[in-house]
Structure 1
Amino acid sequence: MSKARFGELVEKIVEELREYEFRNLVVGARVPAELREREDELRASFRIETGEDIKEDITRAIGSMLQRRLNVSVEYQNPEIVVLVDVFSGEYEIQVNPLFIKGYYRKLKKNIPQTPWYCRYCWGRGCERCGFTGREYPESVSELVGEPALRIFEALSYKFHGAGREDVDATVIGTGRPFILELKHPRKRFVDLSILEREINEHAQGRVEVSGLEYSSRRELRILKSLSPIASKTYEAIVEFDGDVSDERLREIEERFRGIVVEQRTPRRVLRRRADKIRQKKLYYVEAEKIDEKTVKFKIKTQGGLYVKELIDGDDASTKPNIAEALGRRPLKIDLSVIEVEAPRSEKSEKDVELVLDRYSGEHLEDHGRDEEPV
């Protein structure tokens, strides 16, 4: 190994890294096994217990040279770029770590799934049922948000992470639903997110809107995925019943359905993808406002994991208590909107997250699946 050989390798790496925007990196090294064994033998023979080994020496030297050439810092915990070198063969690998962006989305039109929903008959291959599109629905929230970001950040791909997901026929209004967008192998990292927000909203043309975009991290993604299934959610449901609804009964509903625990068996409509079991979920409150003699607007705040449509219609008494039974009326139509989703707080420590998860162990923490979350 010579300084000139190190320099040649560094020049190749610098040339390739000029295509990327980044603030920090970390260097790793591959060392042939036989060389590591020989080094161990020498250390044992001369009883050497201190000092760097050959791998550390290589990474320190290459790292220092890259720092000076690129004017970046070394970051061991969450590096934006990882460079893996083999000075013996003159080869290297560059790993570009993902970029994370968090925000809120509002879904203003119905019949848009959160993620691509492939045809249930051909699973994306294309058939007569789906008009050879391979899709149940032509677009999704993730695509309306992710495609403009993919282009602006010059990334290779993306993954959309929502704090739960709504029914395809439900809207998301109010403050919106928290999400984190993971951009893989981005060339750009220093983008003004107000530009991205404008591009997404123009691209979505009133079907979906995003707001509050900020740069995020893998740690915040873990918190979002860990806590969103139990975070509180608030819904607005406009319900048409099969008969007149009295003001007195609605006041009774508000009193009875406040600060209670609801026992709910897995609804029939989701049994094909959910375990058949009884869950206990908190219901914080129900507020009722009569629109006409047969139509009521409900505002319902629940713990995540409670199926709200079944809270309203009872699902053949599989949800107890339920609003339909308490009113003595059968719902004919339920128009549901998500108006607020509790956002997991990023200042929570890893210990806080584990404590919350332990507290709710045994409750509904499984993945909500591709179709919808409990609503």
Structure 2
Amino acid sequence: MGPDEGHRPELRVRDVGPARHRRRGDPVAVPEAAARGGRVSMMRPEQLPAPEDVLPRILAIGEEYEFASFLIGVRMEGAGSHEECSRAGRPLKEALGAMLERRLWPGRTVDFRRPELQIHIDAATGAVAAVPAPLFIGGRYVKLARTISSTHWHHFGCGGRGCPVCSFRGHFAEGSVGELIGRPLQAAADGGKYYFHGAGREDIDVRMLGTGRPFIVEIAAPRRRSLPYERLAAEINAAARNLAAVAGPLRPATAAMVTAIKEAAGEKTYLATVTAARPLPADAAARVGALTGAVVAQETPHRVRHRRAELVRTRAIAESFATVLDARSFIWQVRAGAGTYIKELASGDGGRTRPSLTEALGVPVVIADLDVAAVHYRAPWEY
């Protein structure tokens, strides 16, 4: 699943990771002399390779990658500024851009802001490297099993090698939604690494139902961009049957949308089966309903203190309803703000969440089964 490096041997490329870390200009080609801290005289424009010398290699790249927009960059060996390098390489860039855009690549345009493909030319050697922009695909997923995680749950303690803590598997779950959806899309795009970005995530033992949770798959170095989304969604759902599914259509997305869904603050509706340690009070349904409109203070739960900062978070409860099943159990429907710890909202977590169902009922309660019934958030590609 590593990123494809087939066209990068001539450049020192620094891969700075997925969209939440990578921004304009990445991957970054660093001149060898500058990387060593040395100083080399700047190459003069007349020393640039002739357009016809590098054109065959550029045309070969055009056959290998699918793209609608491109930008040509020239790497000048030396320690000059970016502006100086840009000025010195401009004659070659302009000649090639005009030749390709007007005659050789009809339908493809030069794009100075967000090119789908950057072509880097090493002025000293004439080497040519392709740097494709990532491909972003948005959609919604449902998680139907309580045995898989939303994203790959790597055991960092053993580095994925396997140990007694992770049952010698190197991970903690029997697969993930990200793998079930991301790998087929990666293969269809003939890309390098993929990254699965979700609008939040649910615990491994929690199902995601209803219309699903928004996600974006980011594919690095794709060779194909026009994908048969409808057919791919059907194939993913057939392969992931009873585990997860793409809910609704797949759509093109952007890097900016990754940030948007990660910062989304939409409320969520949950359905839970709640069990009590002792018989419930006669007015249990009314007491559960009284949590509607409450503002809850939650200290970081015991179960996540090893990976979450010790904070007190306040969250609003928009709706709370109970359907009593028997003397010691009921179905709880609750709509709460993003980031609410629902399991602790039920149990009280030893007093670290207040108010809670346990406090309201006067009886210790826990959640036996929990589902996310709805994510109340409209993703950017759904407008």
TM range (shorter): 0.7 to 0.9
**Are positions 1:343 and 2:377 aligned together?**
yes
Kindly tell me: are residues 308 and 263 of structure 1, through their superposed partners in 2, closer, same or farther at Cα, counting changes over 3 Å?
A: same
**Are positions 1:301 and 2:335 aligned together?**
yes
Query: Which deviates more from structure 2 when the two are superposed, residues 292-301 or residues 308-317?
Result: 292-301
Q: Identify the residue that residue 364 of structure 2 maps to in structure 1.
A: 330
Partner SS, residue 316 of structure 1: helix
Partner SS, residue 111 of structure 1: coil
Distance 1:235 1:342 in 2: 11
CA RMSD of aligned residues (A): 2.6
Kindly tell me: are residues 139 and 317 of structure 1, through their superposed partners in 2, closer, same or farther at Cα, counting changes over 3 Å?
A: same
Distance 1:180 1:139 in 2: 18
Q: TM-score, normalised by structure 1?
A: 0.82
Shift of residue 4, structure 1, vs aligned partner? 8.7
Distance 2:109 2:57 in 1: 19
Contact 1:289–1:298 (8 Å) recurs in 2: yes
Q: Identify the residue that residue 15 of structure 1 maps to in structure 2.
A: 60
Query: Which deviates more from structure 2 when the two are superposed, residues 176-185 or residues 329-338?
Result: 329-338
**Are positions 1:114 and 2:189 aligned together?**
no
Deviations 1:60-84 (A, max 9, x none): 2222222232221122222110112
Shift of residue 235, structure 1, vs aligned partner? 1.0
Deviations 1:3-55 (A, max 9, x none): 99202312211112311111111112223558989x89xxxxxxxxxxx9443
Q: Identify the residue that residue 225 of structure 1 maps to in structure 2.
A: 262
- Picking from 68, 73, 90, the partner of 1:28 is 73
How is 1:216-295 mapped onto 2 (pairs within 5 angstroms)? 216-227=253-264, 230-246=265-281, 248-254=283-289, 256-295=290-329
How is 1:159-238 mapped onto 2 (pairs within 5 angstroms)? 159-211=195-247, 212-227=249-264, 230-238=265-273
| Letter paired with 2:263 | S
Contact 2:251–2:381 (8 Å) recurs in 1: no
Query: Which deviates more from structure 2 when the two are superposed, residues 286-295 or residues 136-145?
Result: 286-295
Partner SS, residue 270 of structure 2: strand
Q: Identify the residue that residue 320 of structure 1 maps to in structure 2.
A: 354
Deviations 1:147-199 (A, max 9, x none): 11122111122000011111111111111111100011111111120011012
| Letter paired with 1:109 | A
Deviations 1:276-295 (A, max 9, x none): 12111122111221223322
Identity of aligned residues (%): 32
- Picking from 134, 139, 158, the partner of 1:103 is 139
Distance 1:233 1:331 in 2: 21
| Letter paired with 2:158 | C
Distance 1:79 1:157 in 2: 20
Distance 2:158 2:334 in 1: 37
Shift of residue 129, structure 1, vs aligned partner? 5.2
Q: TM-score, normalised by structure 2?
A: 0.80
Contact 2:346–2:367 (8 Å) recurs in 1: no
Query: How many residues are matched?
Result: 333
Distance 1:346 1:105 in 2: 16
Query: Which deviates more from structure 2 when the two are superposed, residues 1-10 or residues 167-176?
Result: 1-10
Kindly tell me: are residues 61 and 120 of structure 1, through their superposed partners in 2, closer, same or farther at Cα, counting changes over 3 Å?
A: closer
Contact 1:148–1:203 (8 Å) recurs in 2: no
Shift of residue 110, structure 1, vs aligned partner? 0.3
How is 1:71-86 mapped onto 2 (pairs within 5 angstroms)? 71=106, 72-86=108-122
Distance 2:375 2:59 in 1: 45
- Structure 1: tracts of 5 or more residues without a match: 41-51, 349-375
- Structure 2: tracts of 5 or more residues without a match: 1-45
Q: Looking at both structures, which has the greater relative contact order when contacts are Cα pairs under 8 Å and sequence separation is at least 6?
A: 1
Q: Which runs of 4+ in 1 moved over 6 A?
A: 34-37
Shift of residue 130, structure 1, vs aligned partner? 4.3
Contact 2:299–2:310 (8 Å) recurs in 1: yes
Partner SS, residue 336 of structure 1: strand
**Are positions 1:56 and 2:90 aligned together?**
yes
Shift of residue 248, structure 1, vs aligned partner? 2.8
Deviations 1:321-340 (A, max 9, x none): 11111111222543111111
